[in-house]
Structure 1
Amino acid sequence: MPSGWQQERIGVQADGDAEGQPGKPPLRNASSSTPQSKGASSGGNTETPPPSATQATANEGHVSTPVTAQVSKIFLPTGDDAGIAAFWSRNDMIILSDHVTHMDASALRDTGPFASVAVRTMGDMTAVTFHFENRHELTLSKQPGGWILALSPDDVGKVRARITSQEKDGGILYPMSRPGRIVPFTDPSSGARLLVATSSVGFPGPRLPRRHVGYELWPSVQGLVFAVESDQIELRDGDGGPFLDVVGEGAVPLASAASGQATDDRVDWSWLGLRSLPPETLREDYRRHWTQAAMLPPDSRTDARLAAARSAFALGDAHNARAILATAIQDNPELAMLPNVAFLQAASELLAGNTAGASALESADTGADGALWRGLYMERAGKDPAGAAALLAQGYSRLTDYPATLRNRLQPEAATFIAQYGSDQDLSVLSPVPDAPAFAAVRAFMQLRAGDQAKALTAFQAMAKQKDPVIAEAGGEQSVVLRQAAGQISPVEAAQAYERLLPASRLAGREENVRRALVSSWMKAGEWEKALSAADEEMRVFPEGREAMMPQVQDILLHLAETPDSSGSHPADVIDAVALIESHIDQIPDSPVKGRILGGLGEKLRGLGLPGRAALAFERALPLADDNARRATWGGELAQVDIEAQRLGQARRALDETADTGVGGDVASRRRVIAASLMVREGNRDQALQMLAQDETDPSLDLRGRILEEQKKWPDAVLVVGRMATKDIPEQGSLNDTQQDLTVRLATDAARASDWETLDRLRDWIGRRHLSPERQRIFELLVTSPEEDIRKRLNGG
């Protein structure tokens, strides 16, 4: 032993002390002069008082260096030949020795992190238990005469050696360097039956639990710790390490469950419980865990429930897995914060068809381990197809180790998506493509990627005739896509084809995708009401997908709102569009696009003669304006409908609050006309005319003409209306209703001004062009001057 170490006395060492140096004794507390306890030698406990309040705290439940620790290392005098194992049981570090060793723990009194310790001898073994307020990173290193237990070791973060299991004689051998004895132990926190394999040299166990059928390999600092769930499993000393075997009739052979190198992958095995095991083995595993969970006390069921959920998931029973998890989390809400539980829950939601409930998969910190599941989530959520295909390709090889039920379900889906959206590099993972019917879509997409659209379409059409609903639906869906892209069917025909596919898509689990394609086809066909009706039905059937549908609903409402109402539009069509917008607008999240929809709604309501409701639409649109020009536009329109509703004060306020001197062009002209019309309503006609004097746009000329007509200033009205007619009435050709009204208006103003010269020019200009009978009669009456009537009489006309 190093100088200073005393047999049967646990030694302590502070930071900076030379470990094992000759002449360097371990630190001793003043209380170390207390006589040694004799409890250990008689099989009792030797326990020091609990640590003081200055003991180190943990960082988020993980390793932390003690702040006021008096020691950082201690020496356990177990002897040179003893085999050691060490593992955590909640906040207790338990160290087991396969030899009986009487140890005096008095030197640890008031030493901070190691102060709470209990030493027990049980039969031919010794157990040393250290209690911590929070877990710390600890290591055990062999020294002459015993072991050093240290805080904040130098090798934190280093990758541990892989633990390799070997199938042998129907059982499983875990090779171990200088193995000790197998010692039985009952875990004090869970009551689990443990079989602990010790080693007389350093042999750290796994960092994460390794689940197997009938037993678990627990994380350990030293040695291997087996939690055995079945009475038919035994652990004994083998040739070079602990050997697991089964006894009794009907026992499931352990060799079929051997997992080779037990690496610490965080997803497939440790978190999801997936291994390529026979169905009967998986069912037995599920039955055992479910029975264990049912028989344990309520406060001890957590681990068994999680194991049962993993077993159900491995069987492909995602609905049962998430139900078990929901119960476990309800009883212990803190479980939901654990990454492994959250990942299992999200994966169960995904396989159960609740894609929205699986969003945790996208952000899970799993690296390459979780690439397959992240890609699967992104695929089903319709996010970044190329990125999803790359992730699926990255994890595609893992599927070979999955249970057959899940592999047969997921492999064709992943391969099809990779073939459809993956890069050339991604496609390499698919070679060779299996000949099974489930991979028919993969082969068809490969033909399409090679540029042979005719062969691909033929392959998809052949798939559509298969009896398997999944294969038939995939073939039918892709046939519609290819035929529409080739121009063989119209968008309306595509929509009708998707409607016929809905029953098959429900059986194949593709209904949501087909309904989304149906909505898109109606939109391409310009059937906006049908598109919105189809979107409503999709959100009713798949309420969890409502958020994903919002972009399509938003596009439909925007089109309905911003499509101008032509002169031939039937009022019922406008009313229907308004009703559709108003019934859906609150589903749309606030955004500039929603503002545009509200602005268009306000215009339609104004056109229907509903200024009060139009004002509400513009008021809701204003805070959503994405620039000053749009805000000024909507502010002006709000003022206009307020004027029409006889709310002149509110109209003035709307103009003032949305004024922007930087806005010019048509927006500034429109606001000028609205402001002038407000002045007219307020009785300031001359001021309105002055405001519009330099504005030659049609709305400005029209308002100026109307003001002058109201003032009976007919010569001035002729000049203003005449300038508008010169711009808007063509030299030749037929006239629309607006142009005919403008013609009669100019003739009326000229007749009232006795401007015969203008009437003569107007008569020659319009000529024999067709007007409506009523307008024609009025126009001829106005443009016929007294001088013309005299000439007709002299000529016998």
Structure 2
Amino acid sequence: MRWAPLLALLLAAPAAWAQEAVGVRVGNHPGHGRLVFDWPAPPQYRVEQAGDAVVLYFPPGSAIDLSGARRLPRNMAAVAAEGEGIRIALKPGVRARIFRVGPKLVVDALSPPAEPAPVAQAAPARAEPAPEVVAPPMAPAASPVLRSAPPVPAMPVLTPPRPDALAVRPLPRGGGILLPYPAGTGLAVLRRGGEVLALFDSGEALDLTGLRTDPIFAALEVEALGGATLLRLPLPSPGLLKARREPNGWVLEAHRPAEGQGAAGRSVGLEVEGGVAARLMLRAGEPGRVVPITDPESGLPLLVGTVRAAGQSMPIWRRLPELDLPPTLLGVAVLARADQVTMRATAGGFLVGAANGPLALDAAAAEMPNAEAMTRSFDLPRMPTPRLLERLRALQASIAAAPPLNRLALRRAAAETLLALGMPQEAQAMVELTRGEDPEAARDARLNALAGAAALLAGRLPQAAALHHAELPETDELNLWQTLLLAAEGEAREAVPRLASALPVLFDYPEGLRSRLLPLAAQSLAEAGAVVPLRQVLEKAGPMPELALPRAMLAEASGDAEAALAGYEQIALGRDRLARARALRRAVELRLATHKIDAAQAARALEATLFAWRGDGEEAAARIRLAELRRAAGDARGALALLRETEALFPERGPALRAAINAAFVAALEHEPPLDAVALFDAYPDLLPKDADGQAAMLVLADRLVALDLADRAAALLGQAVGRSAGAPRAALGLRQGVLHLSNGDAAAALKALQESNGEMLPDPLMQARAVLAAQAQSRLGRLEEAVVGLKALGSAGAAALSQLLAERQDWAGAAAALADHLRAALPAAPAPLEEPQQRLLLRHAAMLALAGDEAGLVALRRSYVPRLPEGALAAAFALLTADQLRGLADLPRLQKELLLFQTIPPWLEALRAGGPVTR
């Protein structure tokens, strides 16, 4: 029996200690009442939820002295012995949280958010004796429940705020407040129970008088912590507080997240420093201070790290042997379960360690704790299989003899027995029979959680999701099942820290259940790369054939590729289809990683494994990976075909596959032969992404068609793409289409392409390029004045095109002036030497000045740029164009040199010389 080790311990203890009853203490705290069982050693217990009450079951023969609970906490209705358990009745709306602190067992009754915390008695305004409060008469000692007279509420004395207090004001649009803390003040926000806590690492006083009429923040409470300030806001779940930093302070806004939406921003990074048992680094930007407070839920120390920049949260709960990392909305928090836990701020975040030696970050890396001391939610007796079968037969007989509405407890026990035997489908069927027979079954939290556990073991993940929302008190056993579900859903890396701490519960299960759960746990550890806990689990589990795949994965993670491949090949010969499929696929990946095969060979090998396992996420993941390998091997069209087939087979994964399909389609457009790529686009035009990737693919395809003298086909293709794009990509495609039309001599079609692809909020370079093309098209249509006006409106961005347009009209002075504007923006500042494209631009400017007869301009150009031109043909041509005029016989030798230099003039300058008379 599960109680046998504890009973043996009790019998081995001294007689005086064994007969000593466990005392009970009570207390009232802000937001919760507390009941403490003073056990001398960590107790084993089981919890049942019964409406507004919880029932604690301790080992048979336990002596509980309830005399200390005669005067109950304010939110508990009764505490009394009930059969073999202790029934704790709660007032309406109150929920219980049960946990251990050392050997003591603590039951906290958490008040609902609407219940105000008790107000401390304020000092009287006048020097009068305080009224004497007389306690009500005590009930007899045998009475299990004591009801005291209702206390007289104290009238609080409202003290005016300090003159130097920071005035907190609501936002003009409502729903938030501004706290005018100076720059450099850190903040952490997290939910604990029915409250949201906001901790500032500044001790400046706050004035909340401006929030008295606020519908949300009027209930805000302030607690000064000496150098820090803690704000408590009762906010029903799932309400949250969003924090952002503004120049004049921190803003807190009430926020109700949408379905499935988590905290905004980025997650705080989690790193292990120094190995498995060392220190934990929480990576955060602009860390503030570490402020210790008392956790309102557990009463344990809560180390809170503030940050000075918004958008840094810890969205997932992580449980470790010595500490918990509760989720936060901003900043970090560490719930210390051991006295030696420390946290300090560093330049890169917060360092969590232990005061006396390394911190045990992985329960499996150290010695596993005693399973008898771990808390449970279910009654899964550790019995041999024959005894479990006998128990099941006895329960079935009792169920048959009981009235239908009295079978709930019996059927629940039968479902637990079936689960302990490793028969999850039968356990689910028993739960469904109970739900169809008894209306109370739907409200039985333990039965609902049991149904989720059975569904997880049966591989029915949608039904197992009920475990995430179990209404049971938090226990080590419930943590185990929730973590296994998280790993089965593909979040193995997030699940490993919590899984390692709950493994002792798994090894304490009966053989039938343990043999079904161990492969799932070991597989999760292997997929997360947790080498040390995986090795210890495999050693403790022994030679189980079901663990062959995790053993091979451990060999691969340890760097022994040959042993891993041998293990995968052996598993591929077995009868377990799922393990066989995984082994085949992992062998392909390992051979690819060790360069034994290339991407094309890996794609062919992985394709052969598709039929090893069909119909679920395993096949979908294999198909997606195969598509990646095909793309890497240059078969983008094959990858596209495979992904489209996968989308048809798994329509629920359509949104997740869309990005991969679009990427494969773009890759096919870029790498297929041009005509094949055009046919592919005509067949699947809806697959073109409406972003920069789609734009780039279509532009590349258009260039490839132009290279084949298919400019008309390229322009038509771009027109189709314009109709299926939006924003800047649409405008860029329309620009390229217009360029093609203009190069074909169709200026009207170019203007039409620009008009049809017009958009708002376009980047400046794109808008300028479109305006230049429009001016060039207008010039071709004879609308020269409109073109000139449009280019002049662009300033220096349109100067080059304006210069070209004026040069075509042989307006050399205007062309030279426009090109001068362009040069001022295009040429680097002196004295940097000019590159060849810049030299050609400068030479063009000199030619225009020469054709315009602007001697002063040539002189100024020569003085400014001759020192910046390296020697060469372009520098010689520039010197020729900018040289002084021939004025007499003394200039004849220079004329002879210039005639020789004419031979070095680039051919493209001949067109400029032909435009006007030569005066040199």
TM-score normalized with structure 1 length? 0.46
Bigger helix share? 1
Higher alpha-carbon Rg: 1
